[in-house]
Amino acid sequence: MATDERRVKRELEEGIERDFTRKMSYGDYLRLDTLLSSQQPLSDPPQHDELLFIIQHQTSELWLKLLIHELRSARKLLGEDELAPALKRLARVKHIQHTLTDQWSVLATLTPSEYAEIRPFLATSSGFQSAQYREVEFLLGNKNADMVAVFSHDETARAELDALLHEPSLYDEFLAYLSRRGYAVPSHLLDRDWTQPYRLDQGLVDVFAAVYSEPHEHWGVYETCEELVDLEDNFQQWRFRHLQVVQRTIGQKTGTGGSSGVDFLRRALDLTFFPELYEVRTRVGG
């Protein structure tokens, strides 16, 4: 018996730290005291499933924070003609997107009856009011000045969104990069009103058609185009999964923030960030 016990017990190695009275611990570095005390359910009497709802959305906000960090970096790198590291950033963005989409499967375990027990305590709060989600949309080019006003109660969030509203998006920086590399990007796309959402331009479709006709001659640009398509495809999958979870949880009810709910989310599926990269597919091999 003693021999069996030794087999299953892993002794602490001599060099492993044990005293953190004066040294930084794992919990100190991650500020876990703050992080793990941030889940404050409001339901009264307490409802078991409210913790799931809170953690689902808090972790989503953490991933969105990293997503913004990576997109901002990719945009900056494109502006500096550093394509390779920009693509590395976008590769990470895609993994973050997959994680965000997969998370919906956890929230989908919340049944309509269970959600009905906690919904009254959400009051008028809604994911629609996520400033970080709007930052991601602005960084990708879906600009909407009306959204900035939603955050008038939060000066920091409002200022961040207003700044992004007036700055080039990731796609705008990619087009500027192409122009500097000698591609015939229409000039009006390089000096436009950045506060406006991007619109399809047939002249740019011609540019991408040339890239897709001879990908090996334009490999870096070709690869970037496909990375952007992957990014948008992932974003649409996230939107659709969101719609599905909402539909199975509240049906056709209005959202807590006052939107029409499922119908509002469904209309978002028609939005696109990089329209020419889809339009050019009609030309390929035609």
Which positions make up the binding site? 53-57, 115, 119, 242, 256
Nearest to 230 by CA among 63, 104, 90: 90
C-alpha 57/C-alpha 1 separation (Å) is: 48
| DSSP per residue, 101-153 | HHHHHHHTTS-HHHHHHHGGGGTT--GGG-HHHHHHHHHHT---HHHHHTTTT
DSSP state of 280: G
What is the length of the chain? 286
CB 57 within 8 A of CB 127: yes
Q: Which residues are annotated as a binding site for substrate?
A: 53-57, 115, 119, 256
Q: Which residues are annotated as a binding site for heme?
A: 242
Amino acid identity at 249: T
Q: Do the Cβ atoms of 273 and 140 come closer than 8 Å?
A: yes
Residue given tokens 């990576």 in the structure block: 70
The torsion of the CA quartet 277, 270, 70, 60, rounded to 10 degrees, works out to -150
Q: For residue 21, what are the CA distances in angstroms to 17, 27, 31?
A: 11, 12, 15
Residues 6+ apart with CB under 8 A from 166: 194, 195
